[in-house]
């Protein structure tokens, strides 16, 4: 390389370094002169209503329902199947496991009074309430417990004397319903329940106001209760 060309090469390198430095922001440059950052789009999650069932279904809950019911007693010494319609309802209380599962205790009752006498069914079960989709209100339930059926009538000649039958035993409880959200803490609940016991004890009862007699029979009895109505649940 000739010494005469060295100054020319140094001049080119200096010009290149100067151009690069001019493109770099200096510490004293105002913010407005800086290039604007490139905006990036972020995907926002869809808002969920504050009263959505998945959020309202928390902690302790209480429910009550009222509607129509049909009960039936079937046994070997009964005159056919003793079935009739009457008034029915339930009381429930429990706690929330998660958005899909609730557990609690449930009492179901049914009664009827007519010219032939009185009938009553009472059951107490421990149930689980399962919601297939926690964002919706439909559910299925199932559980086990005990129940008691009673049928009695007064004597025409002695108003203090009552006679009848009673049956009771191990009981299953299944059903379904749908929570219609009214506000974050309350729902209306159309429901359908089935309470049934099989092979329960059967007894005769006699009460004259002074003495009460109950005689257990060797025969077994089956009790069936079907409920349909509207309930309310407070979450």
Q: What is the DSSP string of 28-42?
A: T--GGGSPPPPP---
d(CA 166, CA 112): 15
Strand partners, 151: 119, 165
SS (H, E, C) 198-224: EEEEEEEEEECCCCEEEEEEEEEEEEE
- Say yes or no to pLDDT of 27 above 60: no
With left for phi above 0 and alpha for psi between -120 and 50, is residue 117 left, alpha or beta?
A: left
pTM for the complete prediction?
Answer: 0.73
| Domain-embedded: residue 131 | yes
Q: What are the two backbone dihedrals, phi and then psi, of residue 159, each rounded to the nearest 5 degrees?
A: -70, -15
| Domain-embedded: residue 186 | yes
CA atoms within 13 A on the CB side of 231: 25
Q: Which of 73-77, 148-152, 156-160 is modeled with the greatest confidence?
A: 148-152
CATH number of residue 139's parent domain: 2.40.160.20
| Domain-embedded: residue 2 | no
- Say yes or no to pLDDT of 12 above 60: no
| Domain-embedded: residue 141 | yes
Q: Are 106 and 125 in contact (CB under 8 A)?
A: yes
d(CA 151, CA 112): 10
Burial zone of 142 (CB within 10 Å; 0-12 exposed, 13-18 middle, 19+ buried)? middle
Residues whose CB falls within 8 Å of the CB of residue 164, separated by 6 or more in sequence, listed in order: 117, 118, 150, 151, 152, 153, 204, 205
Which residue segment(s) compose the domain that 139 sits in? 53-149+170-199+223-234
Residue ranges of alpha helices (H) inside 161-212 are: none
| Domain-embedded: residue 19 | no
Task: Indicate if the alpha-carbon torsion angle 99, 57, 231, 94 is positive or negative.
Answer: positive
Q: Which 3 state secondary structure label does DSSP give 18?
A: helix
- Say yes or no to pLDDT of 218 above 70: yes
Count of domains observed in the chain: 1
| Domain-embedded: residue 165 | no
The region of weakest confidence among 4-18, 55-69, 185-199 is 4-18
Q: Are 201 and 223 in contact (CB under 8 A)?
A: no
| Domain-embedded: residue 135 | yes
At residue 13 the predicted structure's pLDDT band, cuts being 50, 70 and 90, is: very low
94 CA to centre of own chain:
10
Query: How confident is the model over 56-81, as a mean pLDDT?
Result: 86
| Domain-embedded: residue 12 | no
pLDDT tens-digit map of 37-65: 544 444 444 454 545 555 567 899 999 99
């Amino acid at each position: 390389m000739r010494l005469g060309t060295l100054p020319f090469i140094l001049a080119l390198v200096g010009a290149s370094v100067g151009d690069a430095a001019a493109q770099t922001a200096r510490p004293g440059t105002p913010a407005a002169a800086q290039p604007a950052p490139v905006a990036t789009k972020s995907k926002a999650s869809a808002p969920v209503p504050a009263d959505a069932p998945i959020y309202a279904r928390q902690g302790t809950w209480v429910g009550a329902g009222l509607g129509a019911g049909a009960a039936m007693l079937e046994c070997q010494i009964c005159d056919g199947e003793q079935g009739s319609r009457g008034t029915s309802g339930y009381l429930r209380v429990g706690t929330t496991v998660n958005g899909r599962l609730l557990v609690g205790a449930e009492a179901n009752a049914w009664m009827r009074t007519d010219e032939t006498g009185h009938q009553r069914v009472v059951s107490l079960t421990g149930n689980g309430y399962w919601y297939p989709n926690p964002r919706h209100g439909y559910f299925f339930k199932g559980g086990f417990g005990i129940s008691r059926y009673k049928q009695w009538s007064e004597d025409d000649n002695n108003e203090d004397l009552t006679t009848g039958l009673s049956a009771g035993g191990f009981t299953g409880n299944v059903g379904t319903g749908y929570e219609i959200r009214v506000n974050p803490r309350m729902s209306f609940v159309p429901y359908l329940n089935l309470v049934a016991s099989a092979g329960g004890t059967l007894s005769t009862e006699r009460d004259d106001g002074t003495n009460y007699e109950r005689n257990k029979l060797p025969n077994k009895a089956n009790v069936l209760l079907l409920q349909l109505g509207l309930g309310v649940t407070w979450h």
